[in-house]
Amino acid sequence: MKLSLTKVVNGCRLGKIKNLGKTGDRTMDVPGCLLYTKTGSAPHLTPHTLHNIHKVPAMAQLTLSSLAEHHEVLAEYKEGVGKFIGMPESLLYCSLHDPVSPCPAGYVTNKALQRSTIIGVIEGGDVMEERLRSARETAKRPVGGFLLDGFQGDPMTLETRLHLLSSVTAELPEDKPRLICSVSRPDEVLECIERGVDLFESFFPYQVTERGCALTFSFDYQPNPEETLLQQNGTQEEIKYVHQTKKIKTTGCNQEMTSFEINLKEKKYQGDFEPLVRGCSCYCCQNHTRAYIHHLLVTNELLAGVLLMMHNFEHYFGFFHSIREALKNDRLAQLKELIRRQAS
C-alpha cells in the first residue's frame, strides 16, 4: 500500500492510495470515504441494489464488533471474509467498532490480521501533550496508515478538537494515509480535510436514512445562475422547516436532523411528484418521487429504507467526488463556502 499525493493545497491532500488488493493493482482516491456496512452488508442493500449506485468506494468498512462472534465460522469457511459476505472483489477495512453504535474513545486496539496492512491508532483525548506523544510514537512504527480516534463529539468543543487535529497530523509522515473515525457530516469532513485527513467513514448517509430523510445539500460549486437561484430558494425553505422540527427519534439513531437533508415523512411531500433531488442520477431519483417515498414511510414499508439508502449513498459519494474535483481545480474554497451556507 502506497500513498501518492498529486497535490497539497493549504493542508488539503489530493492523491491516490496505490498497490491495494490481493494482486496489488487496485487504487483508491483521497480524499475519499469507505462504504459503511452492517454485518458485512451495506445497510438495506443486496449486491443488485448496491450496484445501482454510482461511484461506490473501492473499499468497504467492516466492523469487527459485528463479525467477531462469527470468527469460528469464518475460520472454517477458509475463503476469507470478503467472499463470505458476498464482496469478493472489494477492498476491505476492518474497524474495531461500528461508528453508529460506538464504545467510548480510547478503547481501540490494534488487531493483527494476516496479509493485512495494520493501521496505527492515534489517541490522547483532549490533551495536546498526549496527542503529540501518541502521534510521534505511532509514526515510528511500521504501520500502513493512521487512524485518528476520539476527535468526534459535540459542536461545542469542535474548535479545540480541530486545533488538536492540525497538531496531530503535522506530526505524521506525509506519505501515509490518515483515516478519521466517527466523523462523517459534510461540513466536518471538509474541516478535517483542511487539517490533513484523507479517509472517512460513510455512516452519515445511513443515519439520515434511518430517520426517514434524504440528503439534498448541494455540492455543485460552479452551477449555472438559474440553478443557483432555484437551489437557494429550496434550501432557505428547508432550513426554516429544520428549525421547527429538529429532533427526530429513530430506533438506534437518536441523532438530530441536519440542514443537509429533508424529512420525507412531512405531510408536504404527500403530493410532491418531484424526485428527491432534481438532476440526481441515483436509482431512486431516476425512478421514483417524493410522494412515493412519503407513502412508503407512512406505511412503514421496507422499500423506504432501500430507496433512501441508495439515494443517500449516491449523494454522499457524489459529494466526495466534488471534493476531489474542487481540489484538482483549486476551487475548494467555493465548495467550502457552499457547504458552510447550508450548514445549520
Annotated binding-site residue? 12: no
**From start to end of the chain, where are the E strands?**
2-9, 12-20, 26-30, 32-36, 59-63, 91-95, 119-122, 145-148, 178-180, 199-201, 213-215, 261-263
Q: How far is the CB of 93 from another protein (least distance, A)?
A: 18
Task: Establish if 31 lies at the interface with another protein (CB under 8 A).
Answer: no
Selection from 120, 89, 94 nearest residue 37 by Cα: 94
Task: Establish if 41 lies at the interface with another protein (CB under 8 A).
Answer: yes
Q: CB nearer to another protein: give 68 or 170.
A: 68
Q: CB nearer to another protein: give 44 or 178.
A: 44
Q: How far is the CB of 303 from another protein (least distance, A)?
A: 4
Annotated binding-site residue? 181: no
Contact by Cβ (8 Å): 203, 184: yes
Window 297-336: residues binding another protein (CB under 8 A):
298-299, 301-303, 305-307
Q: How far is the CB of 284 from another protein (least distance, A)?
A: 9
Task: Establish if 296 lies at the interface with another protein (CB under 8 A).
Answer: yes
Q: CB nearer to another protein: give 15 or 43.
A: 43
Phi, psi at residue 32, to the nearest 5°? -155, 180
d(CA 313, CA 138): 33
Q: CB nearer to another protein: give 38 or 133.
A: 38
Contact by Cβ (8 Å): 309, 206: yes
Q: CB nearer to another protein: give 35 or 42.
A: 42
Which residue in the set 89, 174, 273, 281 belongs to the binding site for another protein (CB under 8 A)?
273
Annotated binding-site residue? 280: yes
Phi, psi at residue 14, to the nearest 5°? -125, 130
Task: Establish if 249 lies at the interface with another protein (CB under 8 A).
Answer: no
Annotated binding-site residue? 285: yes
DSSP string, 139-155: HHS--SEEEE-S----G
Which of the ranges 5-13, 72-80, 119-127, 194-202 carries the binding residues for another protein, by CB under 8 A?
72-80
Site of grid cell 422547516: 241
Which residue in the set 2, 16, 26, 70 belongs to the binding site for another protein (CB under 8 A)?
70
Helices (H), 150-185: 158-170
- What 3 state SS string does 16-63 have? EEEEECCCCCEEEEECEEEEECECCECCCCCHHHHHCCCCCCCEEEEE
Number of residues that bind another protein (CB under 8 A): 41
Q: How far is the CB of 72 from another protein (least distance, A)?
A: 8
Q: How far is the CB of 280 from another protein (least distance, A)?
A: 15
- Count of other CB atoms within 10 angstroms of residue 106: 12
Task: Establish if 142 lies at the interface with another protein (CB under 8 A).
Answer: no
d(CA 262, CA 322): 21
Do the bridges between strand 119-122 and strand 91-95 make them parallel or antiparallel, or are there none, so unpaired? unpaired
Window 82-101: residues binding another protein (CB under 8 A):
84-86
Task: Establish if 265 lies at the interface with another protein (CB under 8 A).
Answer: no
d(CA 119, CA 137): 13
- Tell whether omega for the bond before 47 is within 30 degrees of 0, i.e. cis: no
Known binding positions for Zn(2+): 280, 282, 285, 311
Provide the binding-site residues for another protein, judged by CB under 8 A: 38-49, 52, 66, 70, 73, 76-77, 84-86, 252, 270-271, 273, 283, 287-289, 291-292, 295-296, 298-299, 301-303, 305-307
